[in-house]
């Protein structure tokens, strides 16, 4: 552990991160077709559908779903549009969902949003990749490790899951206010339903391939909770891949949305396999 491994240091990186993300957005979005599609009546119940302007609008492509971070409270798909870049370069249509937020809506409500998203927008779409950063990683894992989420709508379970700086095991984390608001009391039904690690253990089937990206100096989402999960399950899951970002803080897991780096190259290679 170094001076980087604390919430204050990781939080002080946010303004630069947001600035670089905004600058990347100004460059990339000119090449893309971005459509805002509602899946429910509440203003947060929508998703962005993103594709390249050079692709024929009538063309059907495999899809990647990306969930942005923000502690289930902050940010929007529009703010994190550059995260679509690597997926579009790999030929995927990208779906970036929004959902109802803490503190007024807990995980039970958010999961209802994910079900509405599926029923309204995903039926008839071949989703091959699910990815997420931070709190978005928890959402990505929550549907990636739930085959029943997909089968309920007659959809195939996606086979590629990318988790960057993700919240995976509530039991190994400091139960801060946001996590309490999301999942409630440890051991409660909502807590177990929301905890990806609990869902992983009971999943009837899993994606064929996983990529876990995390920085050992992450002072926002503890590295140990993901590292312990990976070590416990990697031998039984040959499709597990990891990238521990050297000296990486929380945001280093997802700077690939605005720059070329080791993480981005690894994500590209993962998508191409």
Each residue's pLDDT tens digit, 36-95: 999 999 999 999 999 999 999 888 899 999 999 999 999 999 999 999 999 999 999 999
Asked whether residue 196 is assigned to any structural domain, the reply reads: yes
Establish if 160 belongs to a structural domain: yes
Is residue 2, in this structure, part of any structural domain at all?
no
Full domain range(s) for residue 178: 7-272
Q: What confidence tens digit (pLDDT) does each residue in 192-247 have? A: 999 999 999 999 999 999 999 999 999 899 999 999 999 999 999 999 999 999 99
Average pLDDT estimate for 136-143: 98
Lowest mean pLDDT among 18-27, 96-105, 212-221, 252-261: 18-27
How many domains, the chain?
1
CB distance 233 to 200 below 8 Å: yes
Residue 248 maps to a domain:
yes
Query: How much is the pLDDT for 58?
Result: 85
Tokens 């940010």, residue located: 75
Rg of the Cα atoms in the chain: 17
**For residues 77 and 68, is the Cβ–Cβ distance under 8 A?**
yes
- Residue 179 belongs to domain with CATH number: 3.40.50.1820
CA-nearest of 144, 145, 149, 179 to 72 is: 179
Nearest CA among 96, 164, 99, 95 for reference residue 134: 164
Q: Match 């993103």 to its residue by tokens.
A: 50
| 25-35 average pLDDT score | 86
Q: Count the Cβ atoms, other than its own, within 10 Å of residue 175.
A: 13
Q: Is the residue at 158 inside a domain?
A: yes
| Cα 181 to chain centroid, rounded | 19
| CA distances in angstroms from 84 to 20, 94, 265, listed in the order given | 15, 6, 14
Position 11 scores a pLDDT of 65
Determine, yes or no, domain membership for 77.
Answer: yes
The secondary element (H helix, E strand) that includes residue 264 is helix 262-272
Residue 86 confidence (pLDDT):
96
pTM score = 0.94
């Amino acid at each position: 552990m170094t001076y980087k491994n604390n919430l204050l240091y990781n939080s002080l990186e946010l303004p630069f991160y947001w600035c670089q993300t905004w600058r990347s957005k100004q460059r990339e979005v000119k090449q893309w077709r971005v459509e805002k599609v509602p899946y429910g009546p509440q203003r947060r119940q929508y998703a962005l559908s993103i594709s390249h302007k050079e692709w024929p609008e009538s063309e059907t492509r495999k899809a990647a779903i990306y969930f942005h971070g923000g502690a289930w409270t902050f940010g929007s798909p529009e703010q994190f549009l550059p995260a679509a870049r690597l997926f579009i370069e790999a030929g995927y249509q990208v779906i970036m969902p929004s959902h109802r937020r803490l503190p007024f809506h807990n995980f039970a409500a958010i999961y209802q949003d994910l079900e509405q998203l599926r029923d309204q927008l995903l039926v008839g779409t071949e989703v091959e990749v699910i990815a997420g950063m931070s709190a978005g990683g928890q959402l990505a894992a929550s549907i990636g490790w739930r085959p029943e989420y997909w089968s309920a709508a007659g959809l195939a379970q996606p086979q590629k899951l990318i988790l960057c700086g993700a919240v995976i095991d509530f039991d190994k984390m400091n139960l801060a206010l946001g996590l309490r608001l999301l999942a409630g009391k440890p051991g409660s039904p909502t807590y177990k339903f929301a905890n990806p690690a609990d869902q992983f253990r009971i999943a009837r089937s899993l994606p064929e391939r996983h990529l876990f990206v995390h920085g050992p100096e992450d002072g926002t989402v503890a590295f140990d909770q993901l590292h312990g999960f990976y070590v416990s399950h990697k031998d039984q899951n040959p499709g597990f891949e990891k990238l521990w970002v050297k000296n990486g803080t929380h945001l280093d897991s997802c700077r690939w949305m605005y720059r070329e780096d080791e993480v981005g190259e690894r994500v590209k290679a993962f998508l191409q396999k």
